[in-house]
Amino acid sequence: MEIPNPETNQPRTVLIDPVTRIEGHAKISIHLDADGQVETARFHVVEYRGFETFCEGRPFTEMAAITARICGICPVSHLLAAAKTGDKLLAVTIPPAAEKLRRLMNLAQICQSHALSFFHLSSPDFLLGWDSDPAKRNVFGLIAADPELARSGIRLRQFGQALIEALGGRKIHAAWAVPGGVRAPLAEGLKERVLGQLPEMFAIAERALALFKQLMDTKLGEEREVFGSFPSLFMGLVGSDGRWEHYGGGLRIINAEGSVLVDGLSEDAYASVIAEAVEPWSYLKFPYYKPLGPEAGSYRVGPLARLNLCERIGTPRADRELIELRQRGGRVVSGSLYYHLARLIEIVACLEGIEALLNDPGIEGRHVRARASVNALEAVGVSEAPRGTLFHHYRVDANGLIEKVNLIIATGQNNRAMNRTVTQIARHYLDGAHLSEALLNRVEAGIRCYDPCLSCSTHAAGSMPLQVRLYGADGALVEERIRG
| 36, 59, 231, 291: which one binds other proteins (CB under 8 A) | 59
62: phi then psi, degrees, rounded to nearest 5: -90, -10
In the bound complex, what is the minimum distance in angstroms from residue 14's beta carbon to other proteins? 15
Q: How many helices (H) and strands (E) does the chain have?
A: 18, 17
Q: Is residue 4 a contact point for other proteins (CB under 8 A)?
A: no
Short-list 455, 67, 49, 42, CA closest to 283:
49
Select the span of 65-73, 216-224, 228-236, 321-329 touching other proteins (CB under 8 A).
Answer: 65-73
Q: Is residue 161 a contact point for other proteins (CB under 8 A)?
A: yes
Short-list 328, 156, 329, 342, CA closest to 236:
342
Sheet holding 378-385, edge to edge: 378-385, 388-396, 402-408
Are 107 and 357 in contact by the 8 Å Cβ rule? The answer is: yes
| 8, 9, 259, 373: which one binds other proteins (CB under 8 A) | 373
Is the Cβ of residue 389 or residue 455 nearer to other proteins in the bound state? 455
Q: Is residue 366 a contact point for other proteins (CB under 8 A)?
A: no
Cβ-based neighbour number of residue 22 at 10 Å: 15
Is the Cβ of residue 64 or residue 337 nearer to other proteins in the bound state? 64
In the bound complex, what is the minimum distance in angstroms from residue 23's beta carbon to other proteins? 6
The count of chain residues that interact with other proteins, using the rule CB under 8 A, is: 80
Q: Is residue 377 a contact point for other proteins (CB under 8 A)?
A: no
Short-list 468, 204, 445, 207, CA closest to 337:
445
Cα 401 to Cα 395: distance, rounded to the nearest angstrom: 8
> Cα–chain-centroid distance for residue 282?
18
| 54, 213, 243, 365: which one binds other proteins (CB under 8 A) | 54
Is the Cβ of residue 36 or residue 147 nearer to other proteins in the bound state? 147
Q: From its phi and psi, is residue 431 left (phi > 0), alpha (psi between -120 and 50) or beta?
A: beta
Are 271 and 314 in contact by the 8 Å Cβ rule? The answer is: no
Select the span of 179-187, 299-307, 324-332, 350-358 touching other proteins (CB under 8 A).
Answer: 179-187
Give me the 390-429 binding string for other proteins, x by CB under 8 A, dash otherwise. ---------xxx----------------------------
Short-list 224, 173, 137, CA closest to 64:
173
Short-list 338, 289, 290, 351, CA closest to 449:
338
| 92, 143, 277, 438: which one binds other proteins (CB under 8 A) | 143
Cα 268 to Cα 141: distance, rounded to the nearest angstrom: 47
Residues 82-121 that bind other proteins (CB under 8 A): 116, 119-121
Is the Cβ of residue 165 or residue 295 nearer to other proteins in the bound state? 165
Q: Is residue 77 a contact point for other proteins (CB under 8 A)?
A: no
Is the Cβ of residue 312 or residue 369 nearer to other proteins in the bound state? 369
| 7, 11, 15, 16: which one binds other proteins (CB under 8 A) | 16
Residue type, 375: N
Cβ-based neighbour number of residue 343 at 10 Å: 26
Is the Cβ of residue 4 or residue 465 nearer to other proteins in the bound state? 465
Residues 196-255 that bind other proteins (CB under 8 A): 197
Is the Cβ of residue 105 or residue 313 nearer to other proteins in the bound state? 105
First and final C-alpha spacing in the chain: 17
| 140, 200, 207, 222: which one binds other proteins (CB under 8 A) | 140
Q: Is residue 432 a contact point for other proteins (CB under 8 A)?
A: no
Cα 123 to Cα 117: distance, rounded to the nearest angstrom: 8
| 254, 454, 470, 478: which one binds other proteins (CB under 8 A) | 454
